[in-house]
Amino acid sequence: MALLFVALGVMGLLGSTTLFPLLAASFGGRGPRSLDSTTSVTCKSERLRVTIAIPTCGERQALEITLQSVSYAISYFYNHKGAHSVEFDLLIGIDGKAPQIRELASQFQARVLSTAVRGGKWKMLERMARNVRGRQVCTTDPWIVFADVGVQWPKDFLITLIQEMADEEIIGLAPTYSMNDASVAQKVVWSSERLLKTLENLSGGPVSVHGATVAYKIGPLLSVFDLCVSHTYANDDVVIPLLLRAIYPTKALRYLPTLSVFDNEHESGEVEQRRRTRMLLGNAKWIQDFYPFVVQSNHRVAVVALRRIFRVLWAYWIGSLTLGGVLFFFQMTWGIFDQVSGVERVALVLATAGALSALALLATLACQQLLAAAKASLLGPWYWGKSNSALGRIWK
């Protein structure tokens, strides 16, 4: 029994990490050529047009930080590369009424889209993308760069990003993400995820990205929104790259492990728990709505996406491995336990229980976020198949 639990835990952890990216990479090639020819409009004589789109629901202070960072990155690009090759457009999408945001946008010469009633982040992303397409006049390979409020870019961020956009096979670019003053546990998790997403580059790119900043070609992006018409999704950082990979099997979404954006925002326990709940329900929804479609459309992407599904259940794999280890320990020590006296048995049990309690207490004090994530993972199967249509209106 102990060996069974250990084997289940090991297989689950392998499925959550390296197994499926390596398996997908072994298939070779990106798959059959896509029949969709609407990727982009090309006019070689024109400048590349890049719209930097920042959706917000009214966070003025965080938005100002991001606007300052983005504006400096644009100025740095023009100072070092000139304005002849790229035209930048700054767009702010306001979900709901926020007059203070309009005033801030005018200070940075940014265009504004707004809604009278909140519709959620997904709807705002779609509206911003369609606005860019509506303003397009035969522009060479138009791109949109979504940036969350609160995010900060390094000064040379756009120089590296624009260089990557020159590859015609790329339809999406995903920088990595870092948080200032992150805990040791957070740094370990993000470093591991950075490695795994880099492995997924071998099979055409990841099926999930760090949503803090991500760039897409307008044509393919609108194909995703057309496929999801009349629906909203909470996990845009999964749904969009997943469907891009499925719809465009000969194209790639490139993860950039050496290009990082930064976030200074620290979330309260309540906000963190709400974010975990959103991620949980969002994962359940995309698995239910799209995984069968992905299996039929692109087997290679379906294999890569299995890592994401296994990862949702990571707490079960850790629990199985731990339970197997405990059972194996007791099986190995049962002979010794059976030979000691009753008092010694009680002392041994109390010592073991005390050690486990101390470890649990240290884990609780050390990483509240890890416990919140474990709770969300354990609740995952409970929410699969359940309706969560209102979740798309949640921002964080």
Contacting residues for 12 by C-beta, under 8 A, at least 6 apart:
310, 313, 314, 316, 317, 320, 321
**Residue 341 pLDDT class (50, 70, 90 cuts):** low
pLDDT bucket at 156, cuts 50 / 70 / 90: very high
Q: pLDDT tens digits, residue range 176-191?
A: 988 777 677 677 888 8
Q: What are the CB-based long-range contacts (under 8 Å, 24+) for 44-47?
A: 44/140, 46/138, 46/139, 46/140, 47/84, 47/85, 47/86, 47/87, 47/139, 47/140
What is the CATH code of the structural domain delimited by 48-266? Answer: 3.90.550.10
DSSP 229: T
Domain ranges in the chain? Answer: 48-266
53-67, 250-264, 323-337, 362-376: segment of lowest average pLDDT: 362-376
Side-chain half-sphere CA neighbours of 284 within 13 A: 21
Query: Mean of the pLDDT values across residues 364-388?
Result: 69
pLDDT of residue 136: 63
State pTM to two decimals: 0.85
Q: How many CB atoms lie within 10 A of CB 37?
A: 6
The number of CA neighbours under 13 Å toward the Cβ of 192 is: 12
Length of the chain equals: 396
Phi, psi of 53 (to 5 degrees): -110, 125
Who has greater pLDDT, 282 or 10? 10
Mean pLDDT, range 298-320, rounded to an integer = 92
